[in-house]
Amino acid sequence: MDGDWRRDRIGSALRCTNPTVLRRLEAGFAVIGDVQFLPGYCVLLVDDPAVGRLSDMDKDRRTAFLADMDLLGEAVERACTRLDPDFRRVNLEILGNTDPYLHAHVWPRFSWEPPAHVGRPVWLYPRERWDDERYALGPRHDGLRAAIGEELDRLA
């Protein structure tokens, strides 16, 4: 995957050149995460890069974004339930500490996770998990991408 889209994730999604986009939703884009050490990790990107927080949107857009987050969370839950019997739950997070635009993380959680991490935030996983090429998004995730996309279509 050419990395140019990473410098402008929302703009590239709007231009249909962001390869991580699964579906266009009402207030944003459902994308599969660059890293897949928890298979099914997705992000909801707001569709306007000038929006930095929920409070930057009017009530209707805010409600639409939160509904999109719920939709993506349910799609990930359904796909992961179907693909991995050890799926446990989905964690939804809006943090905004690194990227300046509004986005929500959708993290599937599994019973096979190391005991030291099962009950803790994903962000406490060792840095190596985030940078290890074994977990980088690639063609081996095509089935997972398709499953989440199908669930988004069913739920829409």
Total domains present in the chain = 1
Give CA separation, 9 vs 56, 70, 134, in Å.
19, 21, 23
Bridging pattern class, strands 87-93 and 28-32: unpaired
Reported confidence tier of residue 66, pLDDT bands at 50, 70, 90: very high
CATH of the domain at 74: 3.30.428.10
**Can you give the pLDDT at residue 103?**
97
pLDDT of 11 over the 50 cut: yes
**Can you give the pLDDT at residue 17?**
95
Weakest-pLDDT range from 1-5, 7-11, 48-52, 109-113: 1-5
pLDDT of 2 over the 60 cut: no
Mean pLDDT over each residue of the chain, to the nearest integer: 95
Sheet holding 87-93, edge to edge: 21-24, 28-32, 42-46, 103-110, 87-93
Work out the average pLDDT over 61-69: 98
Q: Which domain holds residue 95?
A: 3-155
